[in-house]
Structure 1
Amino acid sequence: MSTAVPPDAALVARVLAGQDRHAFGELVRRHQGQTRALLRRLCKEDHALADDLAQEAFLQAFRKLSQFRADAAFGTWLYRIAYNVFLMHVRSRREEVSLDDAMPPDDEEASGKPGPEAAGGVEADSVRELDVRRALSKLSDEERAAIVQCYYLDRSHEEAAYVLGCPVGTVKSYIFRAKKKLQVLLPAWEPRSTP
């Protein structure tokens, strides 16, 4: 006997009606992975900070659940709250963290010698991921957020605009500027033309 999985909107309705105290827990389980992934990218891969911000985002979502109007998907509404939590953190922090402080040293940087990552294969993929993370950390918060929304979370420009709380044209501008910067920061990873 299969049980139908209730849609997010039905779970929200159950929470608001007080009929199911576990319904919000189910919403958290459904969306915690992508919410944490979004915040980890925005927090320059600081997992502890991202998890703290995710927890705050879920608390705010619970408190504001009556404001959910279902004009967007619950996940999109939640990501907007998570992004706002991130912005509040950035505003309250005021100090800028340098790239060296934000990124843990890898073996190559610590020893000053090239590591085995240069060989290729899985190691090259790890080096590429590290390079992309470093390049993303050099983008402005808004540019990084737009890239994360559209390329990592595969959202449309319209969905990203909703989450980021700005016009679609602004999202497109952030992405355009971010791509230009990433082309400069990541020239070694440009696709090679095949003969």
Structure 2
Amino acid sequence: MGDFAEIDEATLVARAKNRDPASFELLVRRYQRRIYTLCLRMLNGASGEAEDVTQDVFVTAWRRLPEIRCNEAFSSWLYKAATNKCLTILQRRKPTAVLDDGRELAETSIEGDPGRAAAGTEAMKALALALQQLPPPQRACWLLREVHGRSYNEIAELLETSPAAVRGRIARARAELAEVMKPWR
């Protein structure tokens, strides 16, 4: 099938709708890490739950492929399904603090200078803990915008709210995170 990066999403989705497992596998390979990372961060570092949600999202996607009307909307559908599943889990969960060791976020730390890398890792841990303190809807909006690069309109559509509500949630999240991260500036 060649390099899957060269095949556009709409073509892969169209082929997968025709029950081509190789095309669906390429879609999974393209989006699995992104969806897992979103789930991991939304679920406060609970890797087992994040893996379960990620797997469930792709199993559901395979089953519901014929319902996706616009082939280009597949990634949006994945983000929406993952976000909604995570929010449902968080609503059912008793308030607990699951500590994230920061490994996923620390991937962006500065290499080559051990002192700066250690400080960067500590900052990433602080950011992970600060994200855990955000209300789930704010965390979802912030992650979808800042980490996954989704537009305000797309986030509003994913979370079934208005772009103004998304902007407000992101602004509050940014303010809270900026306050917590002051020592790391």
> Same fold, TM exceeding 0.5?
yes
**Equivalent residue number for residue 99 of structure 2:** 103
Seen in structure 2, the aligned counterparts of structure 1 residues 105 and 52 have a Cα distance that, compared at 3 Å, is closer
Q: Is the 8 A contact 1:54 1:82 kept in 2?
A: yes
| TM score, norm. by length of structure 1 | 0.79
Determine whether 1:122 maps to 2:117. Answer: yes
SS of residue in 2 equivalent to 1:96: coil
Q: How far does the alpha carbon of each residue in 1:29-76 deviate from its partner, in whole angstroms, 9 at most, with x for none?
A: 111011111111101122221111100111111222122122753212
Percentage identity across aligned positions? 29
Aligned pair partner of 2:152 in 145, 153, 157: 157
Contact 2:10 2:71 in 1 (8 A): no
Structure 2 distance, partners of 1:156, 1:150, is: 6
Q: Which runs of 5+ in 2 are unaligned?
A: 103-113
Q: Secondary structure at the match of 2:118?
A: helix
Between the aligned partners of 2:60 and 2:88, the Cα distance in structure 1 is 13
Tell me, in whole angstroms, the C-alpha distance in 2 between the residues paired with 1:172 and 1:104.
Answer: 27
RMSD between superposed Cα atoms in Å: 2.3
Q: Could you say which structure has the higher helix fraction?
A: 2
Task: Give the number of aligned pairs.
Answer: 172
Letter in 2 for 1:8: E
- 1:141 corresponds, among 136, 142, 147, to 136
Structure 1 segment 10-29 matched on structure 2, within 5 A: 10-18=11-19, 20-29=20-29
Does the CA contact (< 8 Å) of 1:160 and 1:171 recur in 2? Answer: yes
Moved more, 53-62 or 121-130: 53-62
Cα distance in 2 for residues equivalent to 1:123 and 1:11: 41
